[in-house]
Amino acid sequence: MDYEDLFRRLTRRYGTVEPEALEAIMSPVLVPIRSLDTSIIKVPGQSHYRASFTVELLPKSRGLMQPGRTGKFVPAAFMTGGAWREIAKGRILEVRPAEGLALGEIYTGGSLGELTLALEQLAPEDFLEIDQFGAAAKILSALVESELVRIASEAGYVVTRMPEDTARHIGAYYYYDFRFERDGVAKRVEVKSLWGTQTKYARLIHGKGKGYLTSSCKFATQDLFAVSLFLRTGNISDFAFARSVPRDEKPYGLPRASKHPDYVHQNPVCQVGDGTWFATIDDVWGLE
């Protein structure tokens, strides 16, 4: 592959772009851990638990170190070709320039047991990954959709990407991301991700706007959910598929939101093979 030509094509729209700038936008900084304190404490006045860590104030990451900055702990093996995987989350609590370090908390967003398990996997040689310009999540989302298009197209579906917005004089807003068609049948597909703070759950949310009583998705606005499993597996090609019907109507359905029965529960457990979530589009396509 001609990588110089690839770089020119990737940056053509933006004029003169240095390779370092593109790398900084697309590749989060990996900050070495200086120390770990795996003693778990309950955060005063809060419901969650945490352990502690420190990182050095290095030239490449010093400008990112501010109280409130969050990142993800990823395994050292990722640096040598291993799969990306989130072990736990990290948040900067205090910066001490005179000592050349920053102090932070380790958390998972889940239960005490989940934090304990994460700490058993976290090692001093691992890294705190910080997204410098807030673009990594958006790039991941776009790559996930692109990969879904590839998978669906290779499986024989005709895929149409729906507009993200629709002018009022053209027609109604589309409340789903794609239309998949095959053999004269068309279905509406909404692409979602796992819940970042607890990746055993799907994040089935929608902007709370006109016509929405809550930030949950409505059952009626899509036929299928396609949830990217990247945050769990580190593989851009891994998805879980579910039918957008209530569980009390179909055994393979999804739970209803507790206060709004026409809406899907925001954070259902997402596990392929559990009777609700399926590994391929074909597996869920024929479910009515």
pLDDT at 171: 63
Angle among Cα 25, 31, 36 to the nearest 5 degrees reads 150
pLDDT at 142: 95
pLDDT at 153: 98
Confidence of residue 206 (pLDDT cuts 50, 70, 90): confident
Cβ neighbors of 229 (< 8 A, separation 6 or more) are 194, 235, 238, 239, 240, 270, 272
Fold of 136-285: Trna Endonuclease; Chain: A, domain 1 (3.40.1350)
Confidence of residue 166 (pLDDT cuts 50, 70, 90): low
Confidence of residue 1 (pLDDT cuts 50, 70, 90): confident
The C-alpha atoms of residue 23 and residue 107 are separated, in whole angstroms, by: 28
pLDDT at 283: 97
- Give alpha helix (H) positions in the chain: 3-11, 19-26, 112-121, 136-154, 230-233, 281-285
Q: Closest by alpha carbon to 244, among 224, 260, 262? A: 224
Q: Closest by alpha carbon to 38, among 51, 49, 48? A: 51
Which of the 8 DSSP states describes residue 138? H
| 265 compared with 83, residue with greater pLDDT | 265
pLDDT one-digit tens code per residue, 207-233: 877 778 888 999 999 999 999 999 999
Residue 278 to residues 154, 245, 283: CA-CA distances in angstroms?
18, 14, 6
pLDDT at 207: 80
The C-alpha atoms of residue 196 and residue 231 are separated, in whole angstroms, by: 7
Residue 61 to residues 39, 242, 264: CA-CA distances in angstroms?
26, 40, 40
Confidence of residue 14 (pLDDT cuts 50, 70, 90): very high
Confidence of residue 167 (pLDDT cuts 50, 70, 90): low
Confidence of residue 83 (pLDDT cuts 50, 70, 90): confident
pLDDT at 195: 87
**Above 60 in pLDDT, residue 80?**
yes
Q: Residues 220, 184: contact at Cβ < 8 Å?
A: no
pLDDT one-digit tens code per residue, 90-133: 999 999 999 999 999 999 876 888 899 999 999 999 999 999 99
**Above 80 in pLDDT, residue 169?**
no
pLDDT one-digit tens code per residue, 45-79: 877 899 999 999 999 999 999 999 999 999 999 99
pLDDT at 34: 97
pLDDT at 170: 67
Q: How many CB atoms lie within 10 A of CB 161?
A: 11
pLDDT at 216: 93
- Give alpha helix (H) positions in 71-202: 112-121, 136-154
Q: Which two tokens stand for residue 135?
A: 């673009």
- What average pLDDT does the segment 185-189 reach? 97
The C-alpha atoms of residue 90 and residue 73 are separated, in whole angstroms, by: 7
Confidence of residue 168 (pLDDT cuts 50, 70, 90): low
Residue 16 backbone phi and psi in degrees, to 5:
-75, 110
pLDDT one-digit tens code per residue, 233-244: 989 999 999 999
Q: Domains of the chain: which residue ranges? A: 28-130, 136-285
